[in-house]
Amino acid sequence: MKVRLLIIGLLFSAVGLFAQNGSAGNLSAKPSDLAWVKLNGKCGFINSKGETVIEPQFDEALNFSANGLAIVRQNGKWGYIDTTGKMVIQPQFDLACDFSANGLARVKIKGKFGYIDRSGKIVIEPKFKSAEDFAANGLAKVEMKGKDGYIDAKGKVVVQPQFKRVGKFAANGLALIKIKDKYGFVDTNGKTAIEPKFTFAADFSDNGLAAVVINERCGYIDAKGNIVIEPKFDFAYDFSDNGWAGIELNGKRGYIDTKGNIVIEPQFEFASDFKTNGLAVVKLNDKWGYINKEGKMVIEPQFDIAYSFSDNGLAEIRLDGKYGYIDKNGKYVVQPQYEHPLYFSRNGLAWFRQNGKYGYIDQTGKTVIEPQFDTASVFSANGLAIVSQNGKYGYIDSTGKFVIEPQYELAGGFPY
């Protein structure tokens, strides 16, 4: 579902960024009430009433972050504006990213990554081939000369760039490393905590266990590198919130607990994590269904493909090439009739396509907005969705009424 949401987001918010002093007046200028739009080849910002807050003047623009800044592009360079349209950091970067919680943002200059503060001052010189945002632990992953390491907010190297791969730091303060085709772990000081000796290893789960491969068999270790579950599986997955991990034996998947006891016998061609409603997706004899924590099949394998249940209590399935939704009892809530996957917005509506036009259904499968749009998107937190007609983009509410008439060449969504 997340992948589909990302794809939809990219389709409807992929262009636009930056300005000098482009405010259109004292209109609503909260970051959460602004969306970029493109008009006459330039990007600006409107509020949820359709009022132009920042005049279209940028080549590209991204939506405002919670910190009140938006990234924009002018004359081939990226910079930052505030909600009045004032250019607070001049366009000078080949690439610019949002600010992390520590007040630093990644930027790219002349092919190298560094970091700036909110005044635009370079605080960590651009010298990295690649770099990531700073994490909650105050460290950022960087790459130099093809090797990965970590730096702190002052640019000090805390984990030397010497590894083929460095993972993210887990809750126990350890990060996966790969060196000379062996996997191990380092701590936040860059000290080797577990020697690289495994053929393969995964990040530590929240319960403090990590899957490793020894002599072509999979088991689990603790933060000291001690083997706590003997390597005896063909494959081993991360532990999930319910304290179980998926494992594979002889081509079949099942589940174990933190002591390595098999709690559900390996019998499935596929098995997902258990969700909050206590059900997991499984594949058996090339059909998909659902089991409970006792391993009982509560929704018989009958679908061509099935997905995990969402927070709304529904799960998407596909049958005979058509998509629909079921409830936790396996009852059809939305009959399999749609050619594409559906994604329900917070307001309970999902777009669908029929005869080349897009409309919206509710969670009972009832059509609430007739197919009439050339394109459609999910609804934002403010209850508006981007749609297009005759090559122009506008915004509708949950009744299908245009709140902002189609007039833009392209439009970005309000925050979700």
DSSP 359-394: EEE-TTS-EEEEEEESEEEEE-TTS-EEEEETTEEE
Question: Is CATH 2.40.10 the right assignment for the domain spanning 166-246?
Answer: yes
- Report the pLDDT value the prediction gives residue 25, as an integer from 0 to 100: 53
Separation of alpha carbons 20 and 362, rounded Å: 43
| pLDDT tens-digit profile, the chain (416 residues) | 333 333 334 333 333 333 334 455 556 578 889 999 999 999 999 999 999 999 999 999 999 999 999 999 999 999 999 999 999 999 999 999 999 999 999 999 999 999 999 999 999 999 999 999 999 999 999 999 999 999 999 999 999 999 999 999 999 999 999 999 999 999 999 999 999 999 999 999 999 999 999 999 999 999 999 999 999 999 999 999 899 999 999 999 999 999 999 999 999 999 999 998 999 999 999 999 999 999 999 999 999 999 999 999 999 999 999 999 999 999 999 999 998 999 999 999 999 999 999 999 999 999 999 999 999 999 999 999 999 999 999 999 999 999 999 999 999 999 98
| Helix (H/G/I), strand (E/B), else coil: 279 | coil
Q: Cβ of 6: how many Cβ atoms within 10 Å?
A: 10
CATH 2.40.10 residue window(s) in the chain: 166-246, 269-342
How would you list the strands of the sheet with 60-61, edge to edge? 60-61, 70-74, 77-81, 87-93
**For the sheet containing 332-338, what is the strand order?**
305-306, 315-319, 322-326, 332-338
C-alpha span between 327 and 244 (Å, rounded): 24
Name the CA dihedral angle for 286, 287, 293, 297, rounded to a multiple of 10 degrees.
-120
Confidence at residue 26, expressed as pLDDT on a 0 to 100 scale: 55
Rounded CA separation 294/281 (Å): 14
Q: What is the pLDDT of residue 30?
A: 87
CA-to-CA distance for 363 and 342, rounded, in angstroms?
A: 11
Q: DSSP character for 241?
A: T
| pTM, 2 dp | 0.86
Helix (H) or strand (E) holding 230: strand 227-233
Placement of tokens 């790459």 in the chain: 143
Per CATH, which fold does 269-342 belong to? Thrombin, subunit H (2.40.10)
11 DSSP 8-state letter: H
Residue 8: predicted pLDDT? 37
Phi-psi label, residue 20: left if phi above 0, alpha if psi -120 to 50, beta otherwise: alpha
Q: What is the largest CA-CA distance in the chain?
A: 68
Instruction: Quote the CA–CA distance of 107 and 126 in Å, as a whole number.
Output: 8
Round to whole Å and give the CA distance between 36 and 408. Answer: 10
